[in-house]
């Protein structure tokens, strides 16, 4: 089982943009590898269209996105026309990210992306709605695993990228329902006598019955 912080396994794959080596394809970018159960299905179509709409936001954050399902490249290519139409793109516009084919489930099995309750017509398991976020050091940083009947919230995926990128640079953690610009929590590892140095913008300690002073808020740090 893959654990957060592990090196994300490399693999080679055939995609709608040709053969690729996953680590090479990532280069110095963050990466989001997301799977879907099958092509020409309604929820998947809405998800992949949403990723087209959010593609500039991912690019702004130096994040490359790549889809994966068990269907063939020929099927992906045909389906991309529907997804582009649903996303409001015209036929001439390029589909902005690749989709991997994983006919033999070798990648999905290796990465734990299959759903044993979702089977194709041959009785083979399909891929679930899995999301892996990988950082520029190829470290596995975050995952979601949803069943076929529940579409994902890609605003949430963008939100967690913002949190990962912020908390890599500043000594904060992001609280419940946080969005960029909201107050953050000072990391428990920052000692009280360093608060002024580390957070010149100030820190508010929220009093709680325990008296332990652990809930320390600060304005969202500005990081480059």
- Which one of 35-43, 107-115, 134-142, 188-196 is the stretch in contact with ligand BEZ (CB under 6 A)? 35-43
Query: Least distance to ligand BEZ from the beta carbon of 96, Å?
Result: 20
Within residues 186-215, the interface with ligand BEZ by CB under 6 A covers none
Query: Least distance to ligand BEZ from the beta carbon of 132, Å?
Result: 19
Rule CB under 6 A: say whether 43 interacts with ligand BEZ.
Answer: yes
**Phi and psi for 104 in degrees, rounded to 5?**
-90, 5
Residue with smaller CB distance to ligand BEZ, 11 or 86: 86
Q: Which residues pair with 143 in a beta bridge?
A: 132
C-alpha separations of 131 from 35, 147, 153, 173 in Å: 7, 12, 11, 21
Residue with smaller CB distance to ligand BEZ, 5 or 123: 123
> Which of 13, 48, 70, 148 forms a contact with ligand BEZ (CB under 6 A)?
148
Residue with smaller CB distance to ligand BEZ, 11 or 144: 144
> Which of 14, 17, 20, 41 forms a contact with ligand BEZ (CB under 6 A)?
41
Give the number of residues in contact with ligand BEZ, rule: CB under 6 A.
8
Own/partner pairs, 172-178, CB within 8 angstroms, 24+ separation: 172/218, 172/220, 172/221
Rule CB under 6 A: say whether 149 interacts with ligand BEZ.
Answer: yes
Residue with smaller CB distance to ligand BEZ, 150 or 201: 150
Q: Which residues pair with 109 in a beta bridge?
A: none
Angle at 172 between CA 179 and CA 153, to 5 degrees: 30
Of 202, 190, 34, 196, the residue nearest 111 (C-alpha): 34
Contact criterion met (CB below 8 Å) for 188 and 215: no
Rule CB under 6 A: say whether 37 interacts with ligand BEZ.
Answer: yes
Query: Least distance to ligand BEZ from the beta carbon of 70, Å?
Result: 11
> Which of 5, 18, 42, 200 forms a contact with ligand BEZ (CB under 6 A)?
42
- Which one of 34-42, 50-58, 153-161, 186-194 is the stretch in contact with ligand BEZ (CB under 6 A)? 34-42
Rule CB under 6 A: say whether 67 interacts with ligand BEZ.
Answer: no
User: Interface residues with ligand BEZ (CB under 6 A)?
Assistant: 37-38, 41-44, 148-149
């Amino acid at each position: 089982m893959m654990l957060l912080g592990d090196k994300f396994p490399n693999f080679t794959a055939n995609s709608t943009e040709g053969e690729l080596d996953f680590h090479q394809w990532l280069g110095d970018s963050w990466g989001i590898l997301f799977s879907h159960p099958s092509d020409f299905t309604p929820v998947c179509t809405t998800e992949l269209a949403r990723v087209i709409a959010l593609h500039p936001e991912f690019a702004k954050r130096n994040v490359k996105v790549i889809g994966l399902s068990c269907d063939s490249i020929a099927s992906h290519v045909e389906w991309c026309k529907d997804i582009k139409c649903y996303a409001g793109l015209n036929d001439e516009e390029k589909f902005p990210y690749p989709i991997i084919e994983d006919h033999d489930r070798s990648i999905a099995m290796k990465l734990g992306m299959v759903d044993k309750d979702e089977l194709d017509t041959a009785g083979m398991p399909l891929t679930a709605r899995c999301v892996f976020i990988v950082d520029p050091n190829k470290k596995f940083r975050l995952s979601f695993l949803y069943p076929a009947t529940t579409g994902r919230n890609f605003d949430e995926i963008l939100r967690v990228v913002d949190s990962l990128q912020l908390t890599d640079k500043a000594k904060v953690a992001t609280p419940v329902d946080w969005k960029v610009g909201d107050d953050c929590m000072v990391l428990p590892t920052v000692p009280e006598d360093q608060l002024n140095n580390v957070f010149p913008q100030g820190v508010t300690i929220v009093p709680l019955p325990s008296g332990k002073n652990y809930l320390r808020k600060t304005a969202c740090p500005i990081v480059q």
